[in-house]
Structure 1
């Protein structure tokens, strides 16, 4: 699995979330968040989202991924911050993503490939970090809100390809509801999460990687 396919997979799964798919990237960029472009109200909105992310240790639920061609896949995800994540796609998809705190393992049975990545080199590091601060780690391009959603558009100055991440949060609770990754060709991959549960204990075995498969 190439890096672009992997990034799109994270965008679809998450994550990540996936993600992180989390934020996309600006290749070779040294851009920093330009806070001067955000109003006090927008800054307060992003800070509220930071508090939401940092209040969560575990979250699990179902996801619906919509590809640029309209194709849909579904699955189940579990996140245990800091550092651990599992995304399982339901059949007929054959993709499994496991993060054990250090490594991201991508098992793509359809392509008969197993690939390892350092967590620190993927966008998932934003989602799984101990302390999440979008104002420090990403370029916040825009912030908007209406009665239904808070919408934050981001870039990440540090990963693989030029892309954007748009996060959608419930305007009342600031809960993450969906995200869209727009790649450098303008194609969107959208993930909606639902039936989420926060704070439940997780099984450590869910995040174990069988490294012998990846030799």
Structure 2
């Protein structure tokens, strides 16, 4: 998974739980066309290198020119199915997580905060000011609160893009439709589509490190074509989290 976005179509707000759009003050975010890049051929990392200029150069020419040769990632040797299986294993190995996040909307607006996650089903996006948003899941219900607007909107997890990341047993191929798998020197990306979310089909791209052990970033294209990207840093896996963090609070204080 903006406040204007919630107002425009409240059910679609649940795409936010993988990448929650900015709050009311960003009502005019723009559409982003053609966000998903074409899959990178599996052989590309073995046959080509990226020179210092960032251009793609054949290995022989790169060596002749003295350009650094970037070794192929281990994931280049895996089939798409094996990559997805490794991604499933990586996601299932994390029962809890605390991480800093940076969220960028389609309009370029940046928000930051702390993500708390406890599988199965529990999650909290705690946004730093000036954002007034708060997103909490207690295991069955996701509550989207905006303290500035004094709103609290509950949604069932089962109809959100969250369900495949928060389920007790994660299987990307079972829980969604895998549409693309690609690798490069920066890591692995897996693109999926979930047609069971409220409002239509959500397109999600997950970005992993080259070893496919850590989810580093995700991007969501909601059913109306708006894009949000969330990047994680300072990730702490399997850390004990105070369960009170995931309690739903329907009170609406104004700040």
Alpha-carbon shift at residue 120 of structure 1 (Å): 1.6
Higher relative contact order (CA 8 A, sep 6+): 1
Alignment of 1:108 with 2:108, yes or no, is no
Residues 47-100 of structure 1: per-residue CA shift (max 9 Å, x gap): 000000111101111100001110000010110111111111000001111111
1:185 to partner: Cα distance: 4.5
In the other structure, the counterpart of 1:194 is: 233
* Aligned pair partner of 2:219 in 175, 180, 191: 180
Over 3 Å counting, the alpha-carbon distance change for 1:194 and 1:179 in structure 2 is same
TM-superposed CA distance for 1:8, in Å, is 4.2
**Secondary structure of residue in 1 paired with 2:16:** helix
Q: For residues 22-55 of structure 1, what are the alpha-carbon distances to aligned partners after superposition, in whole Å with 9 as ceiling and x for unaligned?
A: xxxxxxxxxxxxxxxxxx7000000000000111
Q: What is aligned with 1:11?
A: 18
Moved more, 204-213 or 46-55: 204-213
Measured against aligned partners, the alpha-carbon deviations of 1:108-144 in whole angstroms (never above 9, x if no partner) come to: 1233211111112222111110000001111100101
TM, length-normalised to structure 2: 0.69
Q: Could you tell me whether the CA contact under 8 Å between 2:18 and 2:161 is conserved in 1?
A: no
Partner of 1:82: 120
Instruction: Tell me if structure 2 keeps the 8 A contact 1:150–1:174.
Output: no
Q: 2:206 aligns with which of 144, 164, 167?
A: 167
Select the structure of larger CA radius of gyration: 2
- Aligned counterpart in structure 2 of residue 64 of structure 1, from 85, 90, 102: 102
| TM-score of the aligned structures, taking structure 1 as reference length | 0.81
Secondary structure in structure 2 of the residue aligned to 1:70: coil
CA distance in structure 2 between the partners assigned to 1:55 and 1:210 by the alignment? 29
Show the counterpart of 2:136.
Answer: 98
> What stretches of structure 2 of length at least 5 have no aligned partner?
1-5, 22-77
Q: Is the 8 A contact 2:88 2:171 kept in 1?
A: yes
Match of 2:159 among 117, 121, 145: 121
Structure 1: gaps (5+ residues): 15-39
Structure 2 vs 1, CA of residues 184 and 86 (structure 1 numbering), >3 Å: closer, same or farther? closer
How many equivalent residue pairs?
Answer: 188
